[in-house]
Chains A and B, each alone.
Chain A
Amino acid sequence: GQNIDQPTEMTATEGAIVQINCTYQTSGFNGLFWYQQHAGEAPTFLSYNVLDGLEEKGRFSSFLSRSKGYSYLLLKELQMKDSASYLCAVMDSNYQLIWGAGTKLIIKP
């Protein structure tokens, strides 16, 4: 079956750096997405990776290794507003998105 694994919850300190990992086993691969979801709100798009390597977008970076079935989202200079759930989703060979359960990130002052 298809599976996406992410840690359920992580805690970090304001101003620090945190890495949220995502491992996947899917039928084919057509890209990996990261979304941010604040409590009670809709998911919003953060990043897309389809080739191996690091994509940087301001304080957020996303890394992909297709051979290892692994991605991570790196958040730098953490702010209180970064407290949210982070969802990893992989597009499979049928161009359907398979979603992880999300990682709840708690930022402490």
Chain B
Amino acid sequence: NAGVTQTPKFQVLKTGQSMTLQCAQDMNHEYMSWYRQDPGMGLRLIHYSVGAGITDQGEVPNGYNVSRSTTEDFPLRLLSAAPSQTSVYFCASSNGRENSPLHFGNGTRLTVT
């Protein structure tokens, strides 16, 4: 059982470049989300989705786009990378019930120069 699969594990971008972080889950989870994790701060929600075709903004959505065309996939697009987007990104999913824990992917370490 693969769980939540994130690619790539590492990425270096130049300012202004765009890229897509991939996320897929095989647990038939309705809820999927993207977080960024920065030193000294809690995880911050970028975007989330409660089901295929539905997405919504989290706490820090600016500079990022998402789509949810299938239950399994939830890619995160960086439109024009900035050094402030240097971070570790985690994709996470759950079955959407309030007591259900999040299952996290292994993370993408992104550096923008």
Contact = CB atoms under 8 A, between A and B. Distances in A.
Interface of A: 4, 8, 30-31, 33, 35, 41-45, 48, 50, 87, 89, 91, 95-102
Given A30-B98, A31-B98, A45-B101, A87 B42 contact: yes
Contacts, number: 47
Given A42-B105, A42-B106, 7 more contacts: A30-B98, A42-B90, A43-B43, A89-B42, A91-B98, A95-B98, A97-B102
Interface in B18-67: 40-45, 58
10 contacts: A8-B40, A30-B98, A35-B101, A43-B43, A43-B102, A45-B102, A48-B101, A100-B42, A101-B41, A102-B42
Interface of B: 40-45, 58, 90, 98-99, 101-107
A22 to B, nearest CB: 11
A42 B44 CA distance: 14
